Structure 1
Amino acid sequence: MSTDFQSARVALGARLRELRAEAGLNGKDMAERLGWQRSKVSRLETGKQTATAADLDAWAQALDAPAEAADLQSRLRGMESQQRSWRRQLTKGHRAVQDRYVVEYRQTATVRGYEATVIPGLFQTPEYARHLLIHNAELMQSPRDTEAAVNARMQRQEVLYQPSKTFNVLIWEGALHALVCPAEAMAGQLDRLVGLIGMSSVSLGIVPFGVQLTLTPKHGFWIFDEERVIVETINTEFTLESGEDVALYGRVWDRLDESAVRGPQAHRLIARARAALDLS
């Protein structure tokens, strides 16, 4: 759990405790009014448990303070939309970020992902990843720990071979043609994608050029266990945890999936991108 998220949860708990005290109630009284266990009131007030929207509405109603409900819900939405600056995360280089992703994927059973401009990190070859990380370190003016970061990214890929996990990943065809590394390295990367087709834990779909779409290709995003969404922009990483946000990104993924091809058709698109490379 991020420090920012935990700090926000503690702050929300402190506000709940403050409202209760202003009403002249102790924790036992509050639990009785709500019909909850005393331990739940304590966990919410100390930031050891994340309140739901229903919990907050019930809290305001129990205190006969309906006007406070909107403020409490706003605080919860702020927690559910966590924002982490890349500049801050990359202060010591890329390795720490990659290590966090290793843990994230190990703790996740089902992933749905979409990338429009880049081959997903889960599927990258070391050479392809190396060039991306070098380019990003130069852009962000962050310390260059490229080899350690590449090794951590490769370690993350171990989850692909765990039968208990499922990865449903979509790639916009343009990512197959984005030459962010030498042609030889890109050829190896495309060969790697072909090797993923048919893996029991991986469902790889390509959204082709020229296909009929019900929405534009959008930015990349990843849905973890249908509970949270991670979205990366140039300067920030967002973690979205509200049910509405997760459902919205799920619908976007479903619409893109309707236009995606798999199996032999996906293989042909990858082969076409490889044939377009100048390997002379």
Structure 2
Amino acid sequence: MAVSASSSAQQARQTLADRLGEIRRDAGLTGRELAGACGWYPSKVSRIENARTPPSSEDIQAWCQACDAAGQAADLIASLRAVEGMWVEWRRMERIGLRAVQEARLPLFERTQRFRSYSSWLVPGLIQTRAYTEAVLRAVQRRRVTVDDVDAAVGARMERQRVLHRSATFAFLIEESVLRSGIGGTEVMAGQLGHLLSVATLPSVSLGVVPMRPDRHRMPVEGFWVFDSEQVNVELVSGHLTITQPREIAMYADAFAELAEHAVYGADARGLVTEALHTLG
């Protein structure tokens, strides 16, 4: 399991480690005795209980068996899978292609009522054109995915965009630089900018653009999505991070609110989009 800097993931790892420690103590075993029963080096028990080394499902089964708590193994293994899902490297997530990744996110999008999305790199997926999506996913596939199912992945993302037309609210914040450093070429980018002007008229959508200026008080950060107040997703260079810790979710919500104060909306936002479109010639 990859170790991330997220306190959500770390806290979840420590919670699992604490439960394993409680099981050992309830069984009246020392760490050395448990290690001996499992055929491990004594230090392995200490590393697991201090969340320095993540256990495998086999480790958990052996642990519970040695502590006469085999009935708890299934629940603990389920917790392990949940922790693993908080931080997933791209190579693991995309090992069978890009379509499955797009489809896996649909249930979350369908149940969310309030979307907040901030992007400092690309136009957010929900408001991308088909051509822009194809350019983005093709670039991803060339860089890190051996399976070429880009056409199917594009279709899955386009299908997900239907959530824009149901009873939910969508607040999109994008850096002005996103309007000016595109992907796919002039024609693709022109179509995308025109689409933003159209999307901004939807009654459920708020589109804010954070202008490029030399006196900002809130610097750009990594792009992220806030789904209601239940979950934050962050796409990093190395992998996909899911945050569920309330304190951390609140930090991203505060960051969104601060960035929103720097953004322009309505006619001013459309003016920046139009200016970028004219720059394309």
Q: Aligning the two structures, in what range does the TM-score lie when normalised by the shorter sequence?
A: 0.7 to 0.9
Does structure 1 residue 232 correspond to structure 2 residue 235?
yes
- Measured after TM superposition, the shift of residue 46 of structure 1 is 3.2
How far is 1:9 from its partner? 10
How far apart, in 1, do the equivalents of 2:214 and 2:268 lie?
Answer: 13
Partner of 2:166: 162
Which of 151, 164, 167 does residue 147 from structure 1 map onto?
A: 151
Query: Aligned Cα RMSD in Å?
Result: 3.0
SS of corresponding position for 1:46: helix
* 1:18 aligned to which of 23, 40, 62: 23
Q: Which runs of 5+ in 2 are unaligned?
A: 1-8, 29-70
Counterpart of 1:182, as a letter, is G
Identify the residue that residue 82 of structure 1 maps to in structure 2: 86
Question: Quick check: 1:138 aligned with 2:142?
Answer: yes
- Residue 203 of structure 2 aligns to a residue whose secondary structure is coil
The 8 Å contact of residues 10 and 47 in structure 1, kept in 2 or not, is answered as: no
Amino acid at match of 2:259: L
CA contact (8 A) 1:13 1:45 kept: no
Asked whether the equivalents of residues 132 and 189 of structure 2 are also in contact (C-alpha less than 8 Å), the reply is yes
Corresponding residue of 2:262? 259
Secondary structure in 2 aligned to 1:138? Answer: helix
Post-superposition CA distance 1:116-173 (Å, at most 9, x none): 110000000000100111111011043111110000000110000002x111110000
- In the superposition, the TM-score normalised over structure 1's length comes to 0.73
- Equivalent residue letter for 1:231: V
User: Quick check: 101-110 or 122-131, which moved more?
Assistant: 101-110
Q: Which runs of 5+ in 1 are unaligned?
A: 24-41, 51-74
Structure 1 residue aligned with 2:75 = 46
Identical pairs, percent:
32
2:188 pairs with one of 185, 189, 194: 185
What residue in structure 1 maps to residue 98 of structure 2?
Answer: 94
Once the two structures are superposed, the pairs formed by residues 179-258 of structure 1 within 5 Å of their partners are 179-210=182-213, 212-258=215-261
Give the Cα separation in 2 of the matches to 1:49 and 1:81: 11
**Distance in 2 between the 1:84 and 1:46 partners?**
21
Q: Is the 8 A contact 1:190 1:274 kept in 2?
A: yes
8-17 or 166-175: bigger deviation: 8-17
Return the alpha-carbon distance in structure 2 between the equivalents of residues 10 and 218 of structure 1: 29
- Residues 1:114 and 2:114 are matched in the alignment: no
Offset, 1:213: 2.6
Using the alignment, how far apart are the partners of 1:45 and 1:145 within structure 2? 35
* Superposition deviation, residue 47 in structure 1: 5.1
Alpha-carbon distance in structure 2 between the residues aligned to 1:188 and 1:247:
35
Inter-CA distance 80–134: structure 2 relative to 1 (3 Å threshold): closer
Pick closer, same or farther for the CA change 1:89–1:198 going to 2, 3 Å. Answer: same
The count of residues paired between Structure 1 and Structure 2 equals 229
Q: Name the CA distance, whole Å, in 2 between partners of 1:175 and 1:113.
A: 14
**Correspondence for 1:275:** 278
Q: CA deviation at 1:49?
A: 9.7
Q: Distance in 2 between matches of 1:146 and 1:49?
A: 32
Q: How far apart are 1:255 and its partner, in Å?
A: 0.8
Is the 8 Å Cα contact of residues 94 and 145 (structure 2) preserved in structure 1? Answer: no
Q: Provide the residue aligned with 2:40 in structure 1.
A: none
TM-score (norm 2): 0.73
Is residue 86–residue 243 contact of structure 2 (8 Å, CA) maintained in 1? yes
Letter in 1 for 2:75: T
Cα 1:257–1:134, aligned 2, differ >3 Å: closer, same or farther?
Answer: same
**Structure 2 CA distance for aligned equivalents of residues 256 and 130 of structure 1:** 28
Query: SS state of the match for residue 117, structure 1?
Result: coil
Distance 1:271 1:102, change over 3 A: same
Deviation (angstroms), 1:13? 8.6
Alignment partner of 1:226: what SS? Answer: coil
Contact 1:114 1:220 in 2 (8 A): yes
CA contact (8 A) 1:93 1:145 kept: yes
In the alignment, the residues of structure 1 paired with residue 239 and residue 78 of structure 2 have an alpha-carbon distance, to the nearest angstrom, of 26
Q: Is the 8 A contact 2:97 2:145 kept in 1?
A: no
